[in-house]
Amino acid sequence: MRIRRGLPVFLSLLVAAAFAVPAVAQQQEPPAAGAPSRRPPVRPRPPREKPAPTPAAEAKPTLLAQYSAWGAYTASPGGKKICFAIAKPTTAETKPPNRPRNPPYMFVTTRPDDKVGNEVSIEIGYPFKSGSEASAQVGTTTFALYTQGDGAWIKNKAEEAHMVDTMRQGETAVVKGESSRGTETTDTYSLKGLSEALDRVAKECQ
């Protein structure tokens, strides 16, 4: 059974290191009329997974190299070395427009200690609609994603290597999903520099 660790829980440090944006979460979507206020979303892990230890605060990601839209990073949360490529979307759209959310990102992560390589994960910036699926379209190929919280992962494990290969050869990845408040989201990621970033990640985390 594949173990999914979800998005790094040290994402605030990662964002500060990679893109120099504040670690403080941005405003979440306003609650629907008459609905009780809700706390900022935590990062629930995907189903069937044991919680991972909280990484030490000093496990700040280190930039290995920047390749166009993609940065290659390494970190050692909980003493376990991981490497990942990360990018933010070149365009981020919501319908209705201008809905506030945290910054969205796409990761491709390698965790040697867990024998996981090139795991694709996406942070959308606010919780997905419960039980909904998202999608990532690369060229003419669309990959189904399962969601939990504000994270998304490829639904069919057997397709992940194909997804990464397709992304290496593609120009853009268009990620679509729906938030818990009914906001339809379309984020477009440039794939320029991804191949180089993944090669650097593979070299660092052999």
Cα angle, residue 114 at apex, residues 111 and 117 outer, rounded to 5°: 45
Element (H, E) at 74: strand 70-75
Is residue 178 predicted with pLDDT exceeding 60?
A: yes
High-pLDDT (> 90) share of the chain, %? 64
Residue 59 has a pLDDT of: 65
Nearest of 123, 104, 103, 105 to residue 43 by alpha carbon: 123
Residue 206 has a pLDDT of: 83
- Using left for φ > 0, alpha for ψ between -120 and 50, and beta otherwise, residue 7 falls in beta
At 76-112, the pLDDT tens digits run 888 889 999 999 999 999 999 988 899 999 999 999 9
Is residue 186 predicted with pLDDT exceeding 80?
A: yes
Instruction: Give the whole-angstrom CA distance, residue 38 versus residue 51.
Output: 23
Which structural domains are found in the chain, ordered by start? Answer: 11-21+58-204 (2.60.40.1880)
At 10-60, the pLDDT tens digits run 444 455 455 543 333 333 444 444 444 444 444 444 554 444 433 344 468
- Start-to-end CA span in the chain (Å): 22
